[in-house]
Amino acid sequence: MDRTLKARLEARLADRLTGPVRQRHDQTEIRIRPADLIDVMRVLHDDPQFEFIILADLAGVDTGDTMQAVYHLWSNKTPDWLRVIAEGLSRDDPRVPSLTGLWPGAEWMEREAYDMLGIVFEGNRDLRRIYMPPDYKSFPLRKDFYLPDDSARGPGGGVRHVEEPYAPLAATERSIRRTVKP
């Protein structure tokens, strides 16, 4: 753990943090409000004492009550990875500013979080679905997402169609089932 990183974060960003700076092994974590995201990330990116030049990962999280945008940053100034959590996004209309102005590579990661969780990254120039069809109406990684035929939600519902085995069209009984002679 880089205790000097923790001290620098507390000294520079104390008024923007929503909780204590947490550290475990080689990871430091801070939590902020979505409204403070651009200012905090600009400090972390541009300030010579931090210089987090690489946005390694961006993920959306559905806690069940609220949504979060989670960022993992790397700097050669510290051995620790920095996790920044923008917490408290509304489940009805989750919005957070885009970070493509600081890290252009964030564009595709923001598209993925939008496609899977419905988080809108304001300012992303190409915010559209990346995995699901363009006319798809839901967000598959949300806690409230379920398939209409999801038998796991009720006992005795049978086997979901996605788990049923299908034989190849040109298969014969002999090619599907091998019998072992005693």
pLDDT at residue 174, rounded to an integer: 58
Other beta carbons within 10 Å of 86? 23
pLDDT attached to residue 171: 56
Predicted structure pTM score: 0.79
* pLDDT for position 134: 86
pLDDT of residue 117: 94
Q: Please tell me the predicted confidence (pLDDT) of residue 170.
A: 59
How far apart are the C-alpha atoms of 8 and 10, rounded to whole Å?
5
- The confidence score (pLDDT) of residue 30 equals 97
User: In which residue ranges of the chain is pLDDT below 50?
Assistant: 155-156, 158-165, 175-176
3-148 placed in CATH 3.30.460.80: yes
Where in the chain are the domains? 3-148
Q: Are 140 and 157 in contact (CB under 8 A)?
A: no
According to the model, what pLDDT value does residue 160 have?
Answer: 44
Q: How many helices (H) and strands (E) does the chain have?
A: 4, 7
Report pLDDT for 159.
Answer: 44
Q: What per-residue confidence (pLDDT) applies to 181?
A: 61
> How does DSSP assign 40-86, residue by residue?
HHHHHHH-TTT---EEEEEEEEE-SSSEEEEEEEE-TT-SSEEEEEE
